[in-house]
Amino acid sequence: MALARTGTGPRATARAFLSQVHPVFMTPPVAAALFGAVLAGRIEATLAAIHAVAIFAAVYTAHVKDGYVDFHVRGEDDEHPLTERGCRLGLALSTTVFAACCVLLWALVDPIAVALTLPTWLIAYHHAPQLDTNPLTATTGYPLGIALAILGGFYVQAGAITAVALGFAVVFLVLLSGVKVIDDAQDYDYDRSIEKRTVAVAIGPDRAYVLAYGLMLTALLAVLAFAVARVFPPTTALAALAFGAVALVARRAEPTVATMLLVRGSYVFLAVLVTAVWFEPLAGVGFP
């Protein structure tokens, strides 16, 4: 049986599987895993690579499963490059890679490293059709995965979880939950028509926007507070200011453009944080 819905042969099959690699949404989780390693102050490249591959495999699982459910089960999407058999094979391969990484993390680090990594796959696999129909889990699934990637990346290097790592994880969870509310608002009319309860459907678009920007503001204020308290390096305040500027522009845009701006703003936010931590390393539990 064919694995690709369009075309035949190895090239068509390879293109179909590669189509499930979405850089816009896959880069942040992998970058978050590496950011966690940078936070630890020392990087064992092999461990960082294993953890990053595990996170990549988890996100790939999410994309394949979402596509399978939305096209082959729900009939919501108009097109999908993989057949049902192709989707199942893609899920099997990504899960195998993820499992192999977990085995290596167990052997090279400890079971806690696996305990911090495994939930990312569970969130990815169950996002559709279980988690994406509830306003809370539909909103926080992706941000929670990134928060766990930071914690896992840190623990793999440091063998512990400190207040600094937890603080950064919470900041990203709150900030990206706000971005996700705006992202989901793009599909308000369609989601409402199929009774898919995103935050925008549950409380209305206007209240959803207020909630979304409230969450983002809370995260940015937390960064500033941690910087002033010298829990985070002082220059991390620049990340809050940079994202805040993007959010002000996005606030006046319609949901599609706002999402594009906020997603790219989150890249800038992460890049400034990485730079700040890289040049002002943290010492275990806080900035000295």
List, for residues 182-201, the tens digit of each pLDDT value.
999 988 888 888 777 899 99
Give pLDDT, residue 285.
40
- The residue among 73 and 178 whose pLDDT is bigger is 178
Q: Does domain 162-279 have CATH number 3.40.470?
A: no
pTM confidence score: 0.92
Give the residue-averaged pLDDT of 34-43: 90
Give pLDDT, residue 284.
42
The helices-and-strands tally (H runs, E runs) of the chain is 12, 0
Cβ–Cβ under 8 Å, residues 198 and 189 = no
Nearest to 120 by CA among 192, 7, 29: 29
Q: What are phi and psi of 4, to 5 degrees?
A: -105, 145
Q: Which CATH number fits domain 18-160: 1.10.3720.10, 3.40.50.1860, 1.10.357.140, 1.10.287.130?
A: 1.10.357.140
Alpha helices in 127-204 (DSSP H): 135-158, 163-185, 188-193, 199-203
Q: What are phi and psi of 8, to 5 degrees?
A: -130, 165
When mean pLDDT is compared over 6-15, 71-80, 121-130, 191-200, the highest value belongs to 121-130
Residues written for the chain: 288
Measured CA to CA, the distance from residue 221 to residue 226 in angstroms comes to 9
Q: What are phi and psi of 111, to 5 degrees?
A: -60, -25
Q: What are phi and psi of 286, to 5 degrees?
A: 175, 175
Measured CA to CA, the distance from residue 250 to residue 255 in angstroms comes to 8
Mean of per-residue pLDDT scores for the chain: 91
Give pLDDT, residue 282.
55
∠ CA 121-125-126, rounded to 5°: 115
Give the residue-averaged pLDDT of 220-229: 94
Give every CB contact of residue 210 below 8 A, 6+ residues apart in sequence: none
Region(s) of the chain under CATH 1.20.120: 162-279
CA-based torsion, 73, 187, 63, 3: positive or negative: positive
Is residue 43's pLDDT more than 50? yes
Cβ–Cβ under 8 Å, residues 139 and 177 = yes
∠ CA 264-61-187, rounded to 5°: 50
Would you place residue 91 in the very low, low, confident or very high pLDDT band (cuts 50, 70, 90)?
very high
Give every CB contact of residue 250 below 8 A, 6+ residues apart in sequence: 182, 257, 258, 261, 262, 265
Give pLDDT, residue 132.
80
Measured CA to CA, the distance from residue 94 to residue 66 in angstroms comes to 14
Region(s) of the chain under CATH 1.10.357.140: 18-160
